């Protein structure tokens, strides 16, 4: 594979300016979309690089119609930063980790894990859910950077948010499933939380916290929806007692060796930004 250009390495270290108004918006709604976080050169390089790795590592051989709702929603490949040195530069980028730190209003952020989420042409919807159901973490100081690697129109299935829905407790106990789609959709229907679904421009990234409810529509185009994500947590995040089997699995997989009640600082959870 071709080496990462020096111009991209330089760009990924450059800070992205976040205003007090943007921090307040995120604090209230627990999501925000930011334009021009990545430039065209960077998006195109990583679209090619990450797509090659997804195809190389994905073991999915079943046709879409043979899969369950979760399987139809996306191809999911974890911790690509461990698989490719160039992809690591994107995941460890100070530019993006600096945004996460500013939004969380912390001293810094650590890696939780990364994942590619590729929604195939004809791929199904991603049900309503809250990510932190899966995470054995002691606070809500978490944020996911959702990075489309192409322009993402509505028919391709961009991320949808229920603004401010992190305050809802009902539904937090549900894994991504048909059940979560129905129960959470019904709960949100009787609340006043604003539903936000918009296209993503090239280089636009969204950031959302662990407890805000979100989903994504089906990919009704003939093109793969290519998305890379990085999940950040407070650099001082402590491991919590797992509340379900998925959290036990996440502890063993993404925080190996971490101790309940202590800071999560395993080799898989390096600090990516501090100030």
85 φ/ψ angles, rounded to the nearest 5 degrees: -65, -30
Residue 155 to residue 162: CA distance in whole angstroms: 19
pLDDT, one tens digit per residue, over 163-187 is 999 999 888 999 999 999 999 999 8
Q: Among 49-53, 58-62, 178-182, name the one with the lowest average pLDDT.
A: 58-62
pLDDT, one tens digit per residue, over 93-137 is 999 999 999 999 999 999 999 999 999 999 999 999 999 999 999
Homologous superfamily (CATH) of 18-255 is q2cbj1_9rhob like domain (2.60.120.620)
Residue 103 to residue 121: CA distance in whole angstroms: 33
* pLDDT for res 61: 80
> Which sequence spans correspond to the domains of the chain?
18-255
* pLDDT for res 71: 67
Res 68 pLDDT > 90? no
Mean pLDDT of the region 7-18? 98
* pLDDT for res 73: 65
- Three-state helix/strand/coil letters over 4-27: CCHHHHHHHHCCCCCCHHHHHHHH
Contact 129, 236 (CB under 8 A): no
On average, the pLDDT of the chain sits at 95
């Amino acid at each position: 594979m071709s080496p990462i250009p020096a111009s991209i390495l330089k760009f990924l270290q450059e800070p992205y300016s976040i205003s007090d108004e943007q921090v307040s918006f995120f604090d209230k709604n627990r999501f925000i979309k930011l334009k021009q976080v990545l430039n065209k050169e960077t998006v195109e390089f990583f679209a090619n690089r990450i797509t090659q790795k997804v195809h190389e590592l994905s073991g999915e051989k079943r046709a879409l119609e043979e899969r369950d709702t979760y399987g139809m929603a996306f191809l999911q490949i974890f911790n690509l930063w461990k698989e490719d040195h160039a992809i690591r530069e994107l995941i460890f980028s100070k530019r993006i980790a600096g945004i996460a730190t500013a939004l969380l209003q912390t001293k810094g952020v650590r890696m939780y894990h990364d994942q590619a989420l590729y929604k195939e042409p004809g791929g199904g919807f991603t049900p309503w859910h809250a990510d932190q159901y899966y995470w054995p973490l002691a606070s809500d100081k978490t944020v996911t950077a959702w990075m489309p690697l192409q322009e993402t129109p509505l028919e391709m299935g961009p991320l949808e948010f229920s603004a401010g829905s992190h305050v809802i407790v009902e539904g937090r106990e549900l894994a991504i499933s048909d059940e979560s789609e129905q129960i959470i959709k019904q709960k949100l229907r009787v609340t006043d939380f604003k539903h936000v679904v918009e296209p993503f421009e090239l280089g636009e990234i969204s950031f959302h916290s662990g407890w805000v409810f979100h989903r994504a529509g089906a990919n009704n185009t003939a093109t793969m929806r290519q998305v890379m994500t990085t999940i950040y947590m407070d650099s001082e995040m402590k491991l919590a007692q797992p509340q379900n089997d998925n959290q036990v699995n996440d502890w063993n997989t993404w925080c190996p060796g971490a101790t309940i009640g202590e800071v999560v600082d395993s080799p898989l959870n390096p600090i990516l930004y501090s100030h």
